[in-house]
Amino acid sequence: MGRVDLEAFKWLLSAPGQALLARATELYDDPVADPIKVADLLRKEATAERSAAAMTQVELRHKGTAKFGDLAASMYFTRDGLEQATRFRVAEHRSARIAAAGPSSVLDLGCGIGGDLVAFARAGLTSAGIDSDPLRVAVASANLEALGLGGAVQVADGTALDLSGFGVVFADPARRNAKGRVFDIDNYTPPWSFVESLLQRPSCVKVAPGIPHDAVPPGVEAEWVSDEGDVKEAALWSPSLATALRRATVIKSSGLATLTDEDDPGDQSVRPVQRWLYEPDGAVIRAGLVTAVAAGVEGGLVDEHIAYVTSDKPFTTPFARSYEVLETLPYKEKALRAALRERNIGRLTIKKRGVNVVPDELRKRLALQGDDEATVVLTRAEGKGIALLVRPL
């Protein structure tokens, strides 16, 4: 499917368009349907552009379930809009933080397909969105209407607006150009200078997780957020909304947990590997709060430069994966192969950090054929390479 056409999308919202969309959904959900035959059937009922628009929405709704859950079945998407949209659980967390501040309203600069607008509205916030792309504005507006939510959306340039009338401004600067992803904050659109000026008033700005700590303006809170272990974004909170300087927020199906610099004693002490090993969540690592995890499990670092924590006590923590250390194995590849074969290991999970190892390549070279399964951690401890046979908890 190609790019969503604006006129075809607008037609899709009409009564005949909705009927075609329902028909496309019915055909798409048939487990034995041939995609080519489905497209042919739809083209008998509408033009090629309108048929393609219907099939694109059905396909994107299925893909959108990963980010938006059950809401995706009623929403509308563009390919790049869905790819760039915030995972909805992350957007809900952000909306709850903004709602807790009690703002009069929220303006979403560069609202895209409206995923964050949906989260704002569901959080009870009076919200509006603007975007420079008429198609994205049409899709965002359709999503609010489809979900029965309030909010206004229009085409505008956020950098040219008077923002003083809005309680909080949310922005998600574009981090892509014709060549692909942009990692340098100076190449964001709108530019970083605009972001810095925005953070001088009540605002929240979504940025890439790789933002350097020294790029965060003074007094601004940087919050790194992971969802089921995957770091999704960093959010910068202006001083009027900030409650810490650095924060790691971990979202899982079981709930949400957060850790801040106030929980971090900053103790960089290194100790020998003990019975329990902890692998901090990526958001914790990005936020520079590994030592906070060490304090929480009454442990220390295995190496001052490596994000592994060890302790002689077992803990369950949302901020790290826990392992029981069964034994130390040889670090050299030939000796490691012999040790694993001696233990009848055939299926091996390789965790590594701080060492020059490619797990898939090493696994092939080890050529294990045993009946048992194991997990090995390859890392550095007190400056030296080490291999640990561990049991995930």
Mean pLDDT by 10 residues, the chain (393 residues): 80 94 84 67 80 90 96 96 94 97 96 97 97 96 97 93 95 73 76 94 95 96 97 96 98 95 92 97 97 96 95 96 97 96 96 95 95 97 93 94
The structural domain count of the chain equals 3
Are residues 315 and 379 located together in one domain of the fold? Answer: yes
* pTM for this entry: 0.91
Are residues 52 and 164 located together in one domain of the fold? Answer: no
Are residues 163 and 234 located together in one domain of the fold? Answer: yes
Q: Which of 258, 288, 317 is a domain's end point?
A: 258
Buried b (16+ CB within 10 A) or exposed e, 139-176: bbbbbbebeebebebeeeebbeeebeebbbbbbbbebe
Element (H or E) spanning 296, and its range?
A: helix 290-296
Q: Which of 197, 224, 258 is a domain's end point?
A: 258
Residue 216 lies inside a defined structural domain of this protein = yes
Q: Which of 205, 224, 258 is a domain's end point?
A: 258
Question: What pLDDT is attached to residue 14?
Answer: 96
Residue 268 lies inside a defined structural domain of this protein = no
Question: What pLDDT is attached to residue 29?
Answer: 78
- List, as one string, the DSSP characters of 16-65: HHHHHHHHHHHHHT-TT--HHHHHHHHHTTS-HHHHHHHHHHHHHHHHHH
Residue 158 lies inside a defined structural domain of this protein = yes
The range of the structural domain enclosing residue 191 comes to 84-258
Q: Which of 320, 329, 321 is nearest to 374 (CA)?
A: 329
**Residue 335 one-letter amino acid:** A
Are residues 227 and 345 located together in one domain of the fold? Answer: no
Residue 179 lies inside a defined structural domain of this protein = yes
Q: CA 302 to CA 297: how far, in whole Å?
A: 13
Residue 89 lies inside a defined structural domain of this protein = yes
Are residues 98 and 161 located together in one domain of the fold? Answer: yes
Residue 270 lies inside a defined structural domain of this protein = no
Question: What pLDDT is attached to residue 32?
Answer: 62
Residue 269 lies inside a defined structural domain of this protein = no
Are residues 193 and 111 located together in one domain of the fold? Answer: yes
Question: What pLDDT is attached to residue 275?
Answer: 97
Are residues 132 and 246 located together in one domain of the fold? Answer: yes
Are residues 14 and 54 located together in one domain of the fold? Answer: yes
Are residues 105 and 211 located together in one domain of the fold? Answer: yes
Domain of 141, CATH number, reads: 3.40.50.150
For residues 85 and 112, the answer to whether their CB atoms sit within 8 Å is: yes
Are residues 21 and 100 located together in one domain of the fold? Answer: no
Residue 1 lies inside a defined structural domain of this protein = no
